[in-house]
């Protein structure tokens, strides 16, 4: 049986600081292949090589991955500062219009970390460059030392709106998640519903109100240990169901209020 194709947004990367590649974490491919039960396809997110139209025709859904470079602040009307970190303008040029096209068409996507932030910016929202500098906020960044297991360890609770799509999906109003991000939502974009928050008020889960398809996006990294984590698994399973429905030509699987 042919599996639906999930395009995994890749990131620009330098091997040994010299050799340019487009890269994607293997845990993203593993989550898509083994939990969503879809065919993972790594996308070189660069408008010189691919177009949004081609991607929409080729893939049945998209995983908007995390990545060290951040969305360039010019995309939401602000000037770049040192606090904004590194950028990937080529990825911006692909993912932001891709998100808007998927929302319009009902084509499913799952946003993760940077992908979560891309969804907000694509819909007209803004970002804080460094949320740990805000009064009352915790440090959500990846711990600088330790093993992969320690870096991706569960670190804080996320609380969801009662009866919202995340509450319904997880069967719980609170879950424990990892946290590995520096930026966060400042102003929600048009139709962006913030459905989950960390204890310090940082937005952690969103969806696009009224979108005909799957638009769930999270600030944490559910791709880590996705097959075994009780929060990650239902999220990737639901995303896989949405991609299968799209591939079959069925009505889009809506995940909203």
Annotated catalytic residues are 113, 221, 223
For 256, the 3-state DSSP assignment is coil
Asked if 154 and 108 count as a contact pair (C-beta separation under 8 A), the reply is no
- Nearest 5°: CA angle at 34, between 31 and 37? 100
Residues 115, 119, 122, 127, CA torsion sign:
negative
* Ramachandran angles phi, psi of 125, nearest 5°: -90, 175
122 with 75: CB under 8 angstroms?
Answer: no
> Who contacts 99 (Cβ-Cβ below 8 Å, separation ≥6)?
64, 109, 111, 118, 119, 122, 123
Tell me, what DSSP letter sits at residue 37?
A: -
Which residues touch 256 (CB under 8 Å, ≥6 apart)?
A: 165, 193, 207, 208, 209, 210, 211, 215
Q: How far apart are CA 143 and CA 176, in angstroms?
A: 17
- Dihedral Cα 113, 117, 120, 123, nearest 10 deg: -110
């Amino acid at each position: 049986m042919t599996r639906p194709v999930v395009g995994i947004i890749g990131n620009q990367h330098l091997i040994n600081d010299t050799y340019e590649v487009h890269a994607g974490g293997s845990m993203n491919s593993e989550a898509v292949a083994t939990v969503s039960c879809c065919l993972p396809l790594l996308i070189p997110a660069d408008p010189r090589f691919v177009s949004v139209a081609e991607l929409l025709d080729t893939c049945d859904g998209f995983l908007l991955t995390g990545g060290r470079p951040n969305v360039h602040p010019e995309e939401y009307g602000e000037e770049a500062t040192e606090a904004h970190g590194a950028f990937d303008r080529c990825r911006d040029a692909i993912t932001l219009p891709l998100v808007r096209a998927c929302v319009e068409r009902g084509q499913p996507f799952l946003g993760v970390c940077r992908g979560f932030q891309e969804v907000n910016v694509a819909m007209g929202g803004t970002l804080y460059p460094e949320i740990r500098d805000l009064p009352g906020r915790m440090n959500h960044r990846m711990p600088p030392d330790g093993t992969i297991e320690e870096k991706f360890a569960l670190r804080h609770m996320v609380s969801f709106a009662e009866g919202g799509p995340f509450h319904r999906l997880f069967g719980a109003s609170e879950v424990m998640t990892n946290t590995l991000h520096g930026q966060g939502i400042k102003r929600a974009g048009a139709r962006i519903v913030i459905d989950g928050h960390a204890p310090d008020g940082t937005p952690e889960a969103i969806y696009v109100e009224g979108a005909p398809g799957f638009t769930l996006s999270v600030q944490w990294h559910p791709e880590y240990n996705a097959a075994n984590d009780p929060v990650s698994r239902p999220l990737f399973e639901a995303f896989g169901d949405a991609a299968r429905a799209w591939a079959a030509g069925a009505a889009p699987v809506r995940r909203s209020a």
